[in-house]
Homo-oligomer: A and B are copies of this chain.
């Protein structure tokens, strides 16, 4: 069905249980959909923008209050909305990383953090993962010393994912931050997979920056996100422009350099705001989400030859699974080849797995009901049985 012009309507969320690994936390709430319709037009939130003319100070709609709420939500002092988590990374590297400065990331860091370091001219160095694909405080401490020796100075910044995008494993944020602070290294907490789906307390974790993604985990349209920080770092990170027109003597008031002024001027910010009450509430139900997810991982593990590559017990709903010795074996001789699997899932109303994927793949049960997870679990075991794989 066409939506308009040559654009097909998107029906995935209406027609299927979507287990795509990156889409789960970004589905709009009904409230966000209403706000997006009401505020779809370009500069829609600027109707009542008054001096000093800055997005985070607009009172109607209450964007100013939302900024304060956002900071409180992640337990930091100041927050700004950004066009995606990656632009939050870039604001931090643009402020604190100089050309040639070493920056610590991890062996599981997302590519966008590498790009943000590269854009600032920094030199990325990784903290290794352990045998269980976890980043520990100990590994961070060792690597800090190593990199400090290599460069003759400590890293300018350290990125750490609370949960990484590859395994959905939890990493030792608190211990890593402690190790970094012992060397006066600032710590950026990448909460793309946490802020908006589980409780995040940046102060308690002891990090300097909390970055979250609106379209990944806050039920918001893309690109959107949040960058929060401490009182200590806010002055530098959110510094206002010093630029001046040399002929006109123009100055540009309170516009923030790394934000390039205002960031999200319409549908995106309003979607974030409208979803926010539901988002604040849903983080309290994380344990239920994990319990639902366990139904699915238990089912998958019961299929002979199938391995859960993510840490267990699962502490996140994003899970990496290895079906090379189960579903991929079936694919070798099935007349549909690898497509048999996604096709069989499709027949059961399940979408979001890359067509043909039967080797190592990821899924996310976030936001599914217990019943939907039960259906998903049964679907996996049924498909296994139908194709002669041992279950149980």
Contacts and interface: CB of A to CB of B under 8 A. Distances in A.
A193 interface: no
B126 A215 contact: no
Q: What size tier do the contact residues of chain A reach?
A: 35 or more
A90 B83 CA distance: 14
A87 interface: yes
Interface in A248-279: 248, 252, 255, 257-258, 260-261, 263-268, 270-271, 273-274, 276-277
Nearest to A213: B42
A89 B234 CA distance: 24
A35 interface: yes
Nearest to A109: B245
A222 B43 contact: yes
Contacts of A90: 260
A26 B115 CA distance: 31
A125 to B, nearest CB: 5
B83 A223 contact: yes
A118 interface: yes
Interface in A67-98: 83-84, 86-87, 89-90, 94
Between A125, A223, A354, the greatest number of chain B beta carbons within 10 A of the residue's beta carbon is seen for A223
Given A246-B125, A273-B7, A260 B112 contact: yes
Among A34, A86, A246, A274, chain B packs the most CB atoms within 10 A around the CB of A246
B23 A44 contact: yes
Contacts of A178: none
A128 interface: yes
A58 to B, nearest CB: 12
Number of copies of this protein chain within its complex: 2
Which one of A40, A99, A241, A258 has the highest number of Cβ atoms from chain B below 10 Å of its Cβ?
A40
B33 A261 contact: no
16 contacts: A3-B38, A3-B274, A20-B46, A26-B42, A27-B41, A42-B219, A43-B216, A83-B263, A94-B119, A99-B99, A114-B241, A114-B243, A114-B245, A119-B257, A124-B245, A126-B246
Interface of A: 3-10, 12-13, 20, 22-23, 25-28, 30-44, 46-47, 50, 60-62, 83-84, 86-87, 89-90, 94, 99, 105, 107, 109, 111-112, 114-119, 124-126, 128, 214-216, 219-223, 241-248, 252, 255, 257-258, 260-261, 263-268, 270-271, 273-274, 276-277, 352, 354
Given A126-B246, A126-B248, 14 more contacts: A3-B34, A4-B31, A4-B274, A8-B61, A22-B46, A23-B41, A26-B41, A26-B43, A36-B267, A114-B245, A114-B252, A124-B245, A128-B247, A221-B266
